Structure 1
Amino acid sequence: MGAAADDAGMVVIGAGQAGLQVAESLRAEGYVGPVTLIGEEPHAPYHRPPLSKAMLCGEAGEDQLTIRGPEALERKGIALVTGARVEAVDRVAQRVSLADGRVLAYRGLAFATGSRARPLPVPGAELEGVLALRTLIDARRIAAALEGAERVVVIGGGFIGLEVAAAARKRGRAVTVLEAADRLLARVAAPPVSAFVADLHAEHGVALELEAAVTAVEGAGGRVSGVRTADGRLHPADLVVAGIGILPNTELAEACGLACDRGIVVDACARTSDPLVVAAGDCTARRAGDGLLRLESVQNAVEQGKSAASALLGKERPFTAAPWFWSDQYDVKLQMVGLSAGHDHVVVRGSVAERRFSVFYFRDGALVAIDSVNRAPDHMLGRKLLDKAVAVTPEQAADEEFALATLVR
């Protein structure tokens, strides 16, 4: 697609996975006008999933995290601006103002502002040694703190918290996980998966405390010494990592008048309430049926990024694939596809004892999600089953002798 002489170009706010995907997809779609990718962090776009996995375990260096370096982006004609904060967006004048005084005009604008770690809402959260994990800088701090830590308390039994716990145990640290719910991964997995993950961590020496309401973080001399729970107990710690969820970065979008509701509201094509503005990634809430769907995953960032680029060029590319996620803990890979919320029937296929099984979730007789532990073929097949809305019965899912793959041929 050729660029008009007066083409102000495309501006992408946020240089993470979603923002990078928007910029590169614009080029892949044939757009030849200016593309500017603005990142608040000082780094080129990098992979976030390894931060809580391979990086904390010492199995991956920072040089292995970069998705696309400045030189590669330059070859594609994408101007990368790092360490820059966008201060305001004027949608009438179609301008983006940076904190350093620069002003960029745009023809089309993409918000890929991501999310931030939810702050710990208790006294003592500001003490030295209380950290959260969201960025590369966060991961550096936690990795450095693990070097000298003996006792680690992780607040939150979701993916991030459990991955940090696994990494700390692999490095020989004493670890306690405090989870407010009555089971781990309560928001995303069925009881069989929660129980398996709890047993896995217990086998590796993690002290699990369920229904543990944190009331305060305590310390001495400005440094953390322990975490107090509602039952009065103090859990000693010289490092505390809070993994209690994320908050979408919507402040900039709200300030310029875009529709926001627990995220920047977008349709299946990543379009916002402004026809010249799209949004992609963790900062979004997608209209789905009568409600809004928030997804926090690499897949969502990539697929919405592609849809957003198409929308900026006047094309329709709805993101309709079943959502999928994964988590690595010790020698276990947990892969999830679909959304299990509201399921009314669960079937287990495989052997929990052998750590190779899948949990199939049904609602009103229809398959809605699959969680797989060390059974990658089930996960890959599950993506096809859900994307094609293939009818699967609970009896077929439970029968190891039945070849589910025949249903998608």
Structure 2
Amino acid sequence: MADRSFLDWPFLDDGHRRLADELDAWCAATLAPAHGGDVDAECRALVRSLGDAGWLRYCVPAAYGGIHETLDIRSLALIRETLARHSGLADFAFAMQGLGSGTITLLGTEAQKRAYLPAVARGEKIAAFALTEPASGSDVASMETIAERTANGYRVNGAKTYISNGGIADYYVLFARTGEAPGSRGISAFVVDADTPGLAVTERLEVIAPHPLATLAFTDMALPETALLGEAGRGFAAAMATLDIFRTTVGAAALGFARRALDEATARVRVRRLGNGTLADNPITQSKLAEMVLDIDTSALLIYRAGWLRDVRGVRNTREAALAKLHATDSAQSVIDKAVQMFGGLGVTVGVPVEALYREVRALRIYEGASEVQKVVIARQHLADSAA
């Protein structure tokens, strides 16, 4: 059983504690381990199951079928932490409903919100966020996909890659260069239905932890003016605002993976024989367990502080979200590696939970801003604060 004492911290309220209890019980009763067969079908089924159970209502505001008046980062983090502890694919399915609708929540017109958000909350539309390109990942400002103005709207040409839910999404929030100004000031955001002519899935990508991923191509894709999200040329700010909300929750998913690894390792060392005792009796093992506990508690403090600042204080939490994601993802990698080591050869055997966790956690240090990018964000904010 994972440590749940953090639920009593002042960053969380009674509603969060009820959410954690109810979701944990639902996960235990409902989620089965991913079998690695038809991942697309599994993700579609998970989105529908999460929608039917009401958990996706936390991804949208109350006006469009959600739970809270505005997105509550602590709830999103609790859900991702809990889902990740039970199933990496379930966490992925939930996370993409939030990330793929977040820009619509922040910038969409009333018509756009009505067209997409209620269906996201019910699990009827699968969402995707199309930002990364073949030649640019974290350097969003250098994107090359172009949306040219036409008499009726825009014509889009270019490509996106490593797009989560690519190939199964019902719509994509797409970022493209519209040229109002150089660099990041000339990017706009659009909402694009998956069946739009000119949009093609050109490659399905296989990664170490199976998830639906694809490369998309846009060839003279025509979009109406009504596809624009927010103001033209403000897409970079929209992408960063969306990531500010969900970056904390990436750390929460890593925390869920780390908690599961600690649970698995603790159970294993209690029964694995070493000399006249067990591995748990060994001082080196105890030292590693202490390091794992420390990393997990530190991550949790950073994550729920970042959420509290945004939810309760109402302040921008870019620095705190970067700290939370950086520490939680890097330390989760270390926690899981230690767990694998405690399992010995069994730890790298397919089908053993710590082996799956080892594969699942790696991507979290890359997407939604790699660890190196988070360090730049933190350092720049520190220097700016020091100068002030």
TM-score under structure 2 length normalisation = 0.26
Higher normalized strand content (fraction of residues): 1
Q: Pick 1 or 2: higher relative contact order, CA cutoff 8 A, min separation 6.
A: 2
Instruction: Decide which structure has the larger Cα Rg and report it.
Output: 1
